Amino acid sequence: MTGRNQTIVSEFLLLGLPIKSEHQNLFYVLFLAMYVTTVLGNLLIIVLICLEPHLHTPMYLFLSNLSFSDLCFSSVTMPKLLQNMHSQDPSISYAGCLTQMYFLLFFGDLESFLLVAMAYDRYVAICFPLRYTTIMSPRLCLFLVVLPWVLTTFHAMLHTLLMARLHFCDDNLIAHFFCDMSALLKLSCSDTRVNELVIFIMGGLILVIPFLLIITSYAQIVSSTLKIPSARGIRKAFSTCGSHLTVVSLFYGTVIGLYLCPSANNSVKETVMATMYTVVTPMLNPFIYSLRNRDMKGALGRVFWRKKAPFSL
């Protein structure tokens, strides 16, 4: 910290993805297509759940919130990334950087809690089918939706306020495509031990505990369905858990590896891991959680049929 120029930083420069200049246009089109797919896929899920009365159930209540979270989560980083790739202007203001960090934490944490709620809903539905409507009462469902929004608001605000107290000196180059906490801490010329301690402690509460709860829920689902002595029970277990656990592992694996077990000097690896959970996972969720779902396909057909019916008369 000594010997560094004490000029106060008013903006940061996002170095972006490690892409060669000759491949820039190709990756711009690729990321634009991925972002459009993310937006349209998650919007479609939200609209279908709102329009179709058959989908007004606890599972689809959580799913609509998850889709909204994915849509916003991707929108926090992708438009800025696409703008930087197109205009070659990587600058972002100090206030804009902290704002981006806040909403990235907010919607990332929100997804973590919503995945727990969805896993619990599936656990009750499969392991206690006769008591499902009693256990998953409207009051409990409202609680499982509102609580994540409240907790993530305070958690994201805590990290943002802790970051705002730090000083940033002459070095304003962020080796990332968004304002990542770890990357900002490396640039600070202040003592960051408090920030790092809070990241480790809160990371365990916000990431590790929900992840273990999800794994436990799906383990109970698999155990329950395997007690059914038939191939149908085994297929039901894997169809229920397999695709869900793929996205859960992708999201939690990259986030835990990035923030709780960071690599010392491997910014390329960290950028790739961040791309997985900020870009790829929100795009895959509509396909894995919904568009492969029989109820969602039926709702999509009914909605389009109602739209076409007046014109066919």
Domains of the chain with bracketed CATH = 11-300 (1.20.1070.10)
Amino acid at 41: G
Q: Which of 19-23, 107-111, 188-192, 269-273 has the lowest mean pLDDT?
A: 269-273
pLDDT band at 276 (very low <50, low <70, confident <90, very high): confident
pLDDT band at 38 (very low <50, low <70, confident <90, very high): very high
Greater confidence, 230 or 98? 98
Residue 128 has pLDDT above 60, yes or no: yes
Specify the pLDDT at position 292: 60
Greater confidence, 1 or 103? 103
Greater confidence, 231 or 87? 87
Q: Which of 4-18, 41-55, 106-120 has the lowest mean pLDDT?
A: 4-18
Greater confidence, 226 or 67? 67
Q: Cβ of 191: how many Cβ atoms within 10 Å? A: 11
Amino acid at 236: K
> Is the overall model pTM greater than 0.95, yes or no?
no
Pairing of strands 91-93, 11-14: antiparallel
Greater confidence, 53 or 301? 53
Specify the pLDDT at position 200: 84
pLDDT band at 302 (very low <50, low <70, confident <90, very high): confident
Mean pLDDT: which of 7-16, 126-135, 258-267 is highest? Answer: 126-135
Mean pLDDT: which of 90-104, 179-193, 226-240 is highest? Answer: 90-104
Residue 176 has pLDDT above 70, yes or no: yes
| Average of per-residue pLDDT across 157-177 | 88
How many angstroms separate the Cα of 273 from the Cα of each of 100, 228, 260, 266, 278?
18, 39, 13, 11, 9
Specify the pLDDT at position 265: 60
Q: Quick one: angle between helices 209-226 and 94-127, nearest 10? A: 20
Residue 115 has pLDDT above 50, yes or no: yes
| Average of per-residue pLDDT across 274-298 | 78
| Average of per-residue pLDDT across 204-212 | 84
pLDDT band at 194 (very low <50, low <70, confident <90, very high): very high
How many angstroms separate the Cα of 240 from the Cα of each of 10, 125, 246, 247, 290?
49, 11, 11, 13, 12
pLDDT band at 313 (very low <50, low <70, confident <90, very high): very low
* Residue 107 C-beta-side C-alpha neighbours within 13 Å: 22
Q: Average per-residue pLDDT in the chain?
A: 83
